[in-house]
Each structure stands twice: as C-alpha cells, then as structure tokens.
Chains A and B, each alone.
Chain A
Amino acid sequence: MAYIKIDADRCKGCYFCIKFCPKQLIIVSDTHNKVGYFPAQFLQEKEDQCTGCKTCALMCPDTAIEVFK
C-alpha cells in the first residue's frame, strides 16, 4: 500500500488534490497553517486504500506532496 505526505506549510489550499484523488483520501484540515490557509490533509487512517497513483502530487501547484509506496 502507499501513503502521501503533505507539507502543510507549503499548501495554499487550492484543493486540486482533493478534487482529483480517485479514492477521496484527502480532506481540508480544520487547523490553519503558518500563512493562514487551511491545508489539505491526508486521511492517515485510510492509508491502506492509497494506491500511490501520484495524481495528487501531479496536480499540486506548490509541490507540497510527496508520495511513498
């Protein structure tokens, strides 16, 4: 299985990753980052569903996502 790491402080909250995650494993965080955006947040508890397809990282304009598999 796979998981992603989102650098919350780099995230500007466009939520492209949320829109394009085929498994809906990313949500909007309820705590803001250092700049004041509410960053995207990976649902750690659903890690077993992540396929490491990299779509989220592909669409991230801020290179805030790393993917592990």
Chain B
Amino acid sequence: MEKIFTRTPTLTSSETHFCPGCTHGIAHRILAEAIDELGIADRTIGIPGVGCCVFLYYYIAIDTLEAPHGRAPACATGMKRAQPDKIIFNYQGDGDMAAIGTSEIIHAANRGENITVIFINNSVYGMTGGQMAPTTLLGQQTTTSPYGRNFQTEGYPIKMAEMLATLEGVAYSARVSLHKPKNVMQAKKAIIKAFEMQINQMGFSMVEILSTCNTNWRVSPIEALDVIENEMIPYFPLGVFKERTGKDFL
C-alpha cells in the first residue's frame, strides 16, 4: 500500500509546544502544506509575532525573523521592499495584531504592501495565561474579564477581516475556521489564495483563522470546537470579505 498522507517536507518533525487540542498545530500544518504546494519554501521568509505563534521557526523550515509584539507588518514592509522577489508572511495572534499592532497592520494594509498575513483569532491572549483580548466575545470570562466581557466597559469584539477589507490596498481578506474537516480544507485554500495574491503582486492579503484555545477557555479540546461553531462564528462570520480580481489599485 502507498502512503497517501504524511508530514509535508517543510513542516519539521519537532513536537509542538501547543496544548493538546490547540488548533494552532493544524494552522501550522496547512500553512507548511500551502508553502510546499506552491513550491515557494526556498524563497519564503516568515515573520511570527509574539505569543504562542513565536515558535513558528521550530516548526516550519524556512528563514524566519522574530518581530517585536505587534510590529510584524512593519518588519514585513521593510523586508518585502528590500527583497521584492521573496514571499513574506506574518503569523500573528489577536493580542499581537488586533491590539498592540493595530497601527502597523492598518497602515501596511492601506499601503497595499504585497505581503501575506496569517491572523490567528482565538479570542484570548493565549501564552500569557488567557487574558481578555480585543477579540474576546461578549460575556466571555477570561482572567482579566472575570465577570464576562461587557460592551459598556470593554467594548465589542473587533472584526479584523471586515475592517481590513474596507481598505483600498487590500487584495484579499477572508475569515476561515479550523473546527471541522471541511473548514480546515477551506482554510488551506484561503492561505493558498492569499499567497497567490502576493505571487501575482496584487497587494496585501490576510487570512483570519478562528482557532481554539481550549486551555484558556477552560473546556475540553472537543468542546472547544463547539465553542467555535456556536459562539465564535455567529459573531465572526466566515467568508471572503474582499478579493481583488485585477490590479486596479495600480
């Protein structure tokens, strides 16, 4: 019998530091598969932000730059301008991109920087222990919203994919999820699409991925998948919010 599924070559054999059931592992795998399927591993440079995403370099065997918290889009801007023939992507969490790094992401997107951003939205700060993030759902209890997020005092969860889609420089903005097999396949297609946008010099591309953080959500891995289905998706709808078909920004 023939092996029909195994680890893609650009995904290293390292065991991840992610908690059991954390879908970050799935995100890493489909990202590495996308890179290999497009045949761009030799010329791709990854820029992870700070948080659970920072150890990207242990798991994906490409050149990697560690960016200061929230600043990955600015680092990517510099790198892409210096090496326009390379494929540059950011891998940022919600505490990184949707809070401390909002200025950098909005302006990189608005300039139409020809980079790709993978945005992991798990509605909490994961690595620091589950504090409230801008993406935390209303009513969601975290270590810093112990009574549940209240819109009157903490505002509403921020919708990055929709917000960035309003900017002219953005070529592609989509939200996908990792909670079901069908969604994982769609997520990988979206990542490939985003990289293709960059390869074709269409401008800024972003894929927001709804991901689980069952440890900080205080649920089991399987229950966390249901949280995505029943609580996250109703507020963070899946879909493509912008897809440029021509280089009409040029």
Q: Is B4 an interface residue (CB 8 A)?
A: yes
Q: Which of A14, A55, A68 contacts B222 (CB 8 A)?
A: A14
Q: Is B166 an interface residue (CB 8 A)?
A: no
**Given A2-B1, A20-B181, A54-B4, A15 and B26 contact (CB-CB distance below 8 Å):** no
CB within 8 Å of A: which B203-232 residues? 221-222, 225
CB distance B221 to A10 under 8 Å?
Answer: no
What A residues does B23 contact at CB under 8 A?
61
Residue of B nearest to A66 (CB): B6
CB distance B1 to A3 under 8 Å?
Answer: yes
Interface footprint category on A:
20 to 34
CB distance A59 to B184 under 8 Å?
Answer: yes
A-B CB contacts (within 8 Å), total count = 69
CB distance B5 to A66 under 8 Å?
Answer: yes
**Given A61-B26, A62-B25, A68 and B3 contact (CB-CB distance below 8 Å):** yes
Q: Is B148 an interface residue (CB 8 A)?
A: no
Q: Is B156 an interface residue (CB 8 A)?
A: no
Q: Is B20 an interface residue (CB 8 A)?
A: yes
Q: Is B235 an interface residue (CB 8 A)?
A: no
Q: Is B24 an interface residue (CB 8 A)?
A: yes
**Given A63-B11, A66-B6, A67-B3, A12 and B184 contact (CB-CB distance below 8 Å):** no
What A residues does B221 contact at CB under 8 A?
14-16
> How far is it, in angstroms, between the C-alpha of A65 and the C-alpha of B6 when the chains are bound?
7
**Given A13-B20, A14-B21, A62-B15, A67 and B225 contact (CB-CB distance below 8 Å):** no
CB within 8 Å of B: which A6-54 residues? 10, 12-16, 19-20, 37, 52, 54
> How far is it, in angstroms, between the C-alpha of A67 and the C-alpha of B7 when the chains are bound?
10
CB distance A37 to B4 under 8 Å?
Answer: no
Q: List 10 A-B contacts (CB under 8 A).
A: A13-B20, A14-B222, A16-B221, A19-B222, A61-B23, A61-B29, A63-B29, A65-B5, A67-B3, A67-B4
| Top 4 A-B residue pairs of the complex, sorted by shortest distance between their CB atoms | A61-B25, A14-B21, A12-B20, A67-B5
